A and B are shown apart, each in its own frame.
Chain A
């Protein structure tokens, strides 16, 4: 039995956050795909409070919530560090990870809404992207500077989901001329080998949304 197991779901960007962290640190793990319409007894036992994925199980002990799992992984396997060493820079990183957690999900609501509500959700999403572009990313290649870090992983869903949403909506969302820095970031992020090799299939995602 693998010492590290990950209960995940292919549609979930939160599941991918953990995959990317494990891959970037070269940690061997067993991946278990969960059917969320029929949750396994293991999942319910490991996450009785939320009954959600992802759940990391390390030597039999479960850790829940993707941002909590990321911090745990960083502490247990410090190689290829995903957080800055400076406490102030670390506080800034945590600020943006929390922002990704709290505000990021608005984007996933676009496809599930219609008419006026959808318009409102789109506007809120664009505002959120603008905040990330101006305050979070600035002129940096990645959120933490030159290297990929936990903040990029936390925002990772934005590197591929907008493309799917744009196809469904028939309109642009993350346009290069409106969000030049964020747009460049999505390319830089997806070029990192461990990310490139671990992205959900675009066609499969699109099929699921339509």
Chain B
């Protein structure tokens, strides 16, 4: 029996936050794919409060929330480190992890609830505006100093928290027929996206773009047709 189990869904950037942490640290785990429209009794038992993925189960004990699970992983398996050792730098990292969590939820950069590809008109415009504001903040405040990653030279938990921007945003844009992220307007962010996706573990562990595009396109057509 595997000591570490991970409940997730292939479309979710939150799920991938945990996959990246486990793989970067070389921790073996068993992956359990959840059908989010028909959640398993086990998931509901492990996460009774939110009933969401991802959930990490370590020696039978569940840990929930995709920003909390990597911190737990960091404490149990400290190497290689995904957080700075200096308390002030660690506070800065936590600030940006919280920013990523709060903004990505608000923007629903989760394919299942993204307002951008579902809606049109005013709702979509509002969602686009929020995304641009988030990207501007990341560019102007998060990545100042020409850093390769949010924490400096090495990939860290902050980069993983922003993973949705590096991969999922593009697919959602395409499915909605939108262009929000323009590389020339966000040069630092553009570099970061390239650096992030070049890290071997990240490169080898990204949700299938074509599969997700097809799914989003299908869902969008269904939603627009039903209005």
A69 vs B92: C-alpha distance when bound (angstroms): 10
Contacting A at CB under 8 A, from B43-102, are 48-49, 58, 61, 63-65, 67-69, 71-72, 75-76, 87-88, 90-91, 94-95, 98-99
Per-residue B-contact encoding for A120-147, CB less than 8 Å = 1, 0 else: 0000000000010001000000000000
Distance of A88 Cα from B69 Cα, bound (Å): 10
Question: Is A94 at the interface (CB under 8 A from chain B)?
Answer: yes
- CB neighbours (8 Å) of A49 from chain B are 99, 137, 141
Q: Chain B: interface secondary structure?
A: helix
User: Does A75 interact with chain B (Cβ within 8 Å)?
Assistant: yes
Q: State A131–B75 Cα separation when bound (angstroms).
A: 28
* Chain B residues with CB under 8 A of A1: none
CB of A170, distance to nearest CB on chain B (Å): 31
**Segment at the B interface, from A22-30, A60-68, A181-189:** A60-68
Is there an interface contact between B95 and A64, defined as CB atoms closer than 8 Å? yes
Residue-wise, chain A 81-101 has the 8 Å CB interface mask toward B (1 for contact) of 000000110111011001101
Partner of B72, one of A69, A71, A88: A88
Beta-carbon contact of B91 and A72 below 8 Å: yes
Report whether B68 and A91 are in contact in the complex, using a CB–CB cutoff of 8 Å: yes
CB contacts (< 8 Å) of A65 on chain B: these are: 94-95, 98
* Closest chain A residue to B97, Cβ basis: A68
B98–A67 touching, CB < 8 Å: yes
- The CA of A94 and the CA of B69, in the complex, are separated in Å by 10
Whether A48 touches B141, Cβ cut-off 8 Å, given contacts A65-B98, A91-B71, A94-B68, is yes
Chain B residues positioned under 8 Å from A101 (CB to CB): 98
Q: Which residue of the partner chain A has the closest CB to B86?
A: A75
Chain B residues with Cβ under 8 A from A98's Cβ? Answer: 65, 67-68
- A91/B72 in contact, CB under 8 A: yes
Give the interface size class of chain A: 20 to 34
**Which of chain B's residues have a CB closer than 8 A to the CB of A91?**
63, 68-69, 71-72
Given known contacts A65-B95, A95-B65, A99-B49, A87 and B76 CB-to-CB distance under 8 angstroms: yes
A199–B35 Cα distance when bound, in Å, is: 47
Taking CB as reference atom, which chain A residue is nearest B138? Answer: A49
Q: In this complex, what residue of B is CB-closest to A132?
A: B49
Residues of chain A within 8 A (CB-CB) of B67 are 98
Q: Which residues of B contact A75 (CB under 8 A)?
A: 87, 90
For the complex, what is the distance from the CA of A131 to the CA of B49, rounded to whole Å? 7
Minimum C-beta distance from B161 to chain A (A)? 13
In the assembly, what is the distance between CA of A111 and CA of B99, in Å? 27
Q: In whole angstroms, what is the CA distance A125 to B65 when docked?
A: 21
Task: Give the docked Cα–Cα distance between A91 and B56 (Å).
Answer: 11
> Which residues of chain B are within 8 angstroms of A131 by Cβ–Cβ distance?
49
Find chain B residues with CB under 8 A from A58 CB.
Answer: 88
Taking A87-B75, A88-B72, A95-B65 as contacts, is the C-beta distance between A71 and B91 under 8 angstroms?
A: yes
> Contact: B91 with A68, CB < 8 Å?
yes
B87:A76 contact, CB within 8 angstroms: yes
Interface residues of B (CB under 8 A from A): 48-49, 58, 61, 63-65, 67-69, 71-72, 75-76, 87-88, 90-91, 94-95, 98-99, 137, 141
Please provide the 6 A-B residue pairs with the shortest distance between their CB atoms, ordered closest to farther.
A87-B75, A72-B91, A91-B72, A75-B87, A68-B94, A91-B63
**Chain A residues proximal to chain B, CB less than 8 Å:** 48-49, 58, 61, 63-65, 67-69, 71-72, 75-76, 87-88, 90-92, 94-95, 98-99, 101, 131, 135
A-B contact pairs, 20 of them (CB 8 A): A48-B141, A49-B137, A49-B141, A65-B94, A65-B98, A67-B98, A68-B95, A68-B98, A71-B94, A72-B87, A75-B90, A88-B58, A88-B63, A88-B72, A91-B69, A94-B68, A95-B64, A95-B68, A98-B65, A99-B49
- Given A58-B88, A65-B94, A91-B72: 15 more A-B contacts, CB < 8 Å: A48-B141, A49-B99, A63-B91, A68-B94, A68-B95, A69-B91, A71-B90, A87-B76, A90-B72, A91-B63, A91-B68, A91-B69, A92-B63, A95-B65, A101-B98
